[in-house]
Structures are given as C-alpha cells and as structure tokens.
Structure 1
Amino acid sequence: MSIAVGGAKSDAGLEPVQRVTDSTQAINQLKSVLVTADPPLREELAKLGNAELFRSCARFADAGGREEGREESVLRATRITLGLLAQRIGQLSEQIRNVDARVTRLVKCHAPQLLDVVGIGPDTAVALLITVGDNPGRLGSEASFAALCGVSPVERSSGRRQVRRLNRGGDRQANAALHRIVFTRLRVDQRTQDYYERRIKEGKTRREIVRCLKRYAAREVFHLVRQLQPGPRS
C-alpha cells in the first residue's frame, strides 16, 4: 500500500509543510511592516487579535485605488502592503485547510487505526504512511522500521564505557513525525509523563528519554501499519 501513487505524495507529504511555512513567513512580514507603520495606524491595529487584524488589513488592498489624494504616499504604500500580505495569508490559510481535509481523507481511507493513537494526527500519520509505502521491502521487522525512521540505537563504546548515541540516519520526515508524537504525548498523555518522571529519577537525560520514547512509538506504529503490507513471497 502506498498513498504516494499518482502524485499524492507531493500533495499530502510536501505541500502542507511548504504552505504552512509560507503562511508563517507572510504573517511575520505583515507584523514587521506594522511595527514600522505610521503611529496612528499602528495603534489602530495593535489592539486587534490575529484574525481581526488580517481581515482589517485585507480591506486595505481592496481600497488601495480609492485612497484620498491628501493621504501621504508612504502611509498609502503601507496600507497597500499590509492589505496584500493579509490577502496572501487568507489564501494560504484556505489552501492549508483544503489540503488538511484531503490528507485526513487519505489517512482515514488507508490507515484509520493510526488516528486512534494518542499523539498521531493526519499530518503525522501521512508522513509515516509515505515512508511505509516507499519502502515496502525494508519493513521485514520492527527493528528494520526503527532503523528506517532513524530511531534505532547506535552503540558507541569507548573502553569500558558502553553508550548509545543518536542515530542520524534514516528517513528524516518519519523521524520528525515520531518526534511530534513523543512531544505531544509528553504534554497530554499521563502514561508518557509518568514514564518520563521515572526515567529522570533513574538518572537518564531528557535526550535519552526522548530517544527511548521515539523507539517505542516506532514499534507501535509498525504493528499498526504492518497489516497494510503484502505478505512475503513464497
């Protein structure tokens, strides 16, 4: 099974991230322009929340050609710039919502069981499904999936000292998805929080605990998606 067939990989796996990045950049640009805007305009918009701020600024672009002639050109340019940026934010937000809906439908179609797991949302699930679909021959075992995601332990010995270091290999998108699962669980899942506190008392560092939790998450995901894989050839 692969949701990457027919170009879906690009739509589901890459475009949402890029659109969110573009939207964040546009928001930062709008607020940077607002910081240097004319004081009365800045004070007028400073008290607004983000949603109302973007709606108010978007109206500036629509009125850009109807500004009064006595208005200073710098102020007029500022209003038009804010309006264009706000319109872009609105367009990107709508695109993100549409892509999110498509991603959710894909996951519900191919692996709805993933959405029942704490910490796994549609974006995280689709990133893992893309990794699974692109590498069906490498998923013979739970350990191979962990290595594929870059969360398998890497032994590093120095004399009598036996340690495990961070695995920097594997699919980094899948690794990032497991990272999101772990940090979501650390915020909302009591079992994960209890595990974290117990390991801290045992002397483990935060990085070591997160590495263990990512490995556990990979094991859980593997058993949820293994049923999607075709059986071994005789």
Structure 2
Amino acid sequence: MLRAGVECTGSYGAGLARYLAAQQVAVVEVNQPDGSTRRRCGKTDAVDAEAAARAALSGIARALPKSGGERVEALRMLRLAKNSAVKARTQALNQLKSVLVNAPSALREELEPLSRLLRRCAELADTREGNPAADTAVFTLRLLAQRVVQLRHEATELETRITRLYLERRTAEIKGKREVMRCLKRYAAREVYHLIRADMITRHQQSDASATLMTAA
C-alpha cells in the first residue's frame, strides 16, 4: 500500500493515520461521502471505505493530516478531561441552584450573601431536625458545592498541564524564543477569553438565583 485516505485524522482516525505513517504509507485526509452518495448507496463501512480509497487514489483528497505525536495526543486527552470538568461544574452549579430555590426559607437566609454561597454550602453541617426535606437539602447542597469546588480545582490543574505541554510542543516545532512566546500569548488570550465568558455565565446564574430566592421569600 502506497497511499491511503483516512477520515477524521484529528480524532477517531488519528491512531490509524499514525500507524499507516509509521509503515511509510502516504496518508491524506478524506471527507465523508456526501449526502447524495449516502442516499444512493446507503450508509455502510464498505461504501465509506471505497469512497475514501477513490478520493485518495484519484487525487481529489490532497489535504495532509495534522502532525500528531505524543504531545498532541497528550493535549487531546487533557482537553477532553478539562472540557468534561467544566461541563460537569456548570451542571453541578445549576443543580445547586435548583435545590437552593426549593430549600426551606430559613436555610436560604442562613446561606446569604450569595457572594459566599459555595463556601457556605460546602461547610454546611448535617442537621437532625426531623424534617426530611430540610435535612436532605443541607446534605445535597453541601455535596454539590464540594463537587463544584473539586471540579474547579481539576479544571485549573488540567489547564496548567495543557499550558505546559503546549509550550513544550511549540518550542519543539518553532525555533526562536520570540516566536514561541508569541504563540503562547495567543493561546493564553484564547483561554482567558473562555474563562472570562464562563465567569460571566456563573455570575449571571448567581444573579438569577438571587432574584429567584427573593421571589421565593
């Protein structure tokens, strides 16, 4: 085999692309068959494989897969874990808000002000008031708040590792400290933007929670 076409070389096709490249096979990125081909021939692995082979052999597919390597794969895994942590943190915050809205008014008043809501919820002590709803609300709020804090720590640690690996990767690819720093600043700017956006969403959610609590009170 001298030439092969592989779909999604940056994701699930990355392993196959790396293996073929190691076997001295020229690899090109191919697109999935268009809708008309799928409707006419059906969606099967055989049809997709034939379409990929034809695109590679005819020269229609010419895009080279992105260079991989251990650092690229490590970055992919870290980003996957970070995105999962951020998503889970947002979900836990929304769940905490839902529990808080339906909690007894005395408990809601105890947790004010909302600027310290997470810390106060995380430090709640178990109650034995004989009220299942109130006791369960305390337990659930503490659990969710601690989960949010833990996920925030995870996301921070993952981001630190991502930045370190990104710097190592760019240093290996680019000669010159100035160019490396320029790439790092560009990467940092993108990450800061996402962090600011996430913080704004969190603040908005807290404002909604405050308004809802005032209405419930």
Normalised by the shorter chain, which TM-score bucket?
A: 0.3 to 0.5
TM-score (norm: length of structure 2): 0.48
RCO (CA 8 Å, sep 6+): is it higher in 1 or 2? 1
